[in-house]
Amino acid sequence: MQKLVIHGGSKLQGEISISGAKNAALPLLCASLLTADTFAIHNTPRLKDVTTMLALLEQIGVRILTNDAGTAELSAAGITNPTASYDMVKTMRAAILVLGPLLARTGQAHISLPGGCAIGMRPVDQHIKGLQAMGAEISIEQGYIRAQAGRLSGARIVMDLVTVTGTENLMMAATLASGTTVLENAAREPEVIDLANCLISMGAKIEGAGSDVITIEGVDRLHGCSHTVMPDRIETGTFLTAAAACGGDITLTRARADTLDVVLGKLAETGAEIDTGADWIHLHMPQRPQAVSLRTAPYPAFPTDMQAQFMALNSIADGTAVMTETIFENRFMHVQELKRLNADIQVEGNTAIVHGIPLLDGASVMATDLRASACLIIAGLVAQGETVVDRIYHLDRGYEQIEQKLAKAGAKIWRTS
Ligand code: EPU
């Protein structure tokens, strides 16, 4: 099994280029199922989750051509198998995103029910409830969601809670429904807007993406399009937090500051000096960071996907931070690993109290999920001595060449088997 070895103590300096967003690319690839025409997605990140999604789409019957420049050309003219097997869904929960488009386009879908995962239970009841409101007949049989419908009908759907992939699934399904669908309490994440923009360029009629009410007027058919995946705001935030934690001066290119307002605000509270332009962000950290308290919540509030990275920063910050996780019930698995590096953290329910200490000690640690892996890398970069991060397959699901990008900026980090 591969591991990352990190020798802490270097400052990050120079330029890092940001990849396309994983959480935008995955729903965008599924949108290919909504048309028989050729559909091209550019700036697709080279990630395990993207490879898994492409393999799933191929099993469904989509013909796919990819190139090294990050373009995927997909043609779903012949959908032969509207199924996502347990093997696929257990590898990548985002496989649930084929449910809405398959049902809308073919009238059927047979999707394995995702189980719980390391960070929480993560049910998909809101996806199912929304599709039922649009007229789908759905049953759960032998661990599979069996969904059938004639043409879906527009409906007013008030979601019980804010769900990102739930909003994306229902928005995709509604594009081909008859009549108007109104999604209330919709997710406002930038990835939802990116998907809506792609659907609109396929001929969909969507208004309100980016607000909590999205209105979709169904059309008879969608056509092909060419769309570029937005930059990854969580990758961007991860490198910025790393630079703020270990001191440094970095410029991130192909980055979008407007998707990171709250994260940039928190980094400024730590003492980092930040400048932004249309497609770049520069961060200079002149001092030991100040501790910052935060509470995760749906966009535009502080993202749960940045909580673990900020915990690594708070571990060595000046002061005490109170960090509350409100999205996932079990997203503090990295705390035990940070403690192995000597971090001083107490967890009470969904709140972690982090007392910053001047320096962590390197140790062997184990990654438990994608963002926990990023947290442990940041901790390794600021720890004295050697840190070895095990189970980095989580990392390869969502960060493109992270160790190469960090090494280019001066970090002492490499991969071993
Ligand atoms: N939820 C329900 N019922 C549903 C759907 C969600 O109870 O039908 C709950 C979840 O259990 C969770 C909360 O609602 O407690 C929010 O979950 P959401 O559905 O928004 O999460 P998701 O769509 O499964 C996406 C990202 C996650 C990110 C979350 C929250 C993708 C592919 N995944 O997941 O990304 O943490 O939104 O922002 O977009 C990651 O990249 O590391 C990652 C986990």
For residue range 39-88, list pLDDT tens digits in order.
999 999 999 999 999 999 999 999 999 999 999 999 999 999 999 999 99
CA–CA dist 259, 300 (Å, integer): 8
Residue type, 72: A
pLDDT score of 284 more than 90: yes
- Give the pair of three-digit tokens for residue 339: 């403690």
The residue written with tokens 């329910």 in the block is 349
pLDDT score of 115 more than 80: no
**Ligand 1 mean position, distance from CA 324 (Å):** 17
Per-residue pLDDT at 120: 80
Percent of all residues in the chain with a pLDDT value above 70, rounded to a whole number: 100
Q: How many CB atoms lie within 10 A of CB 405?
A: 21
CA–CA dist 388, 414 (Å, integer): 10
Q: Say yes or no: CB of residue 125 within 6 Å of ligand 1.
A: yes
pLDDT score of 368 more than 80: yes
**Ligand 1 mean position, distance from CA 307 (Å):** 14
- Give the pair of three-digit tokens for residue 36: 């028989």
- Give the pair of three-digit tokens for residue 246: 């270990």
117 pLDDT tier (thresholds 50, 70, 90): confident
Q: Say yes or no: CB of residue 165 within 6 Å of ligand 1.
A: yes
The residue written with tokens 């007229």 in the block is 135
Per-residue pLDDT at 1: 84
Q: What is the mean pLDDT of residues 87-92?
A: 92
Give just the sign of the alpha carbon dihedral 297, 302, 306, 307: negative
Does the pTM surpass 0.85? The reply is yes
203-258 confidence digits (pLDDT tens): 999 999 999 999 999 999 999 999 999 999 999 999 999 999 999 999 999 999 99
pLDDT score of 324 more than 90: yes
CA–CA dist 147, 52 (Å, integer): 22
Ligand 1 atom with least separation from CA of 299: 38
Separation of first and last alpha carbons in the chain = 6
Contact 57, 84 (CB under 8 A): no
Q: 117 by DSSP, 3-state: which?
A: strand
Q: What is the mean pLDDT of residues 147-169?
A: 98
- Packed helices 22-31 and 164-175: angle between N→C axes, nearest 10 degrees: 20
Mutate to test the pocket of ligand 1, among 125, 161, 167, 172 (most ligand atoms within 8 A of CB): 161
Contact 283, 249 (CB under 8 A): yes
- Using alpha carbons only, give the angle 91, 19, 389 rounded to the nearest 5 degrees: 55
Q: What does residue 146 show for φ and ψ, rounded to 5 degrees?
A: -105, 115
Beta strands 383-384 and 360-361 are: parallel
**Ligand 1 mean position, distance from CA 178 (Å):** 28
Contact 33, 27 (CB under 8 A): no
Ligand 1 atom with least separation from CA of 328: 15
**Ligand 1 mean position, distance from CA 13 (Å):** 33
Contact 323, 314 (CB under 8 A): yes
Residue closest via CA to ligand 1's atom 16 equals: 163
Q: Say yes or no: CB of residue 120 within 6 Å of ligand 1.
A: yes
Q: Catalytic amino acids? A: 117
Contact 3, 212 (CB under 8 A): no
User: Hey, what long-range contacts does 191-194 have (CB within 8 A, 24 or more apart)?
Assistant: 191/21, 191/23, 191/24, 191/27, 191/164, 191/230, 192/164, 192/167, 192/168, 194/21, 194/24, 194/28, 194/229, 194/230
Per-residue pLDDT at 121: 80
CA–CA dist 155, 226 (Å, integer): 29
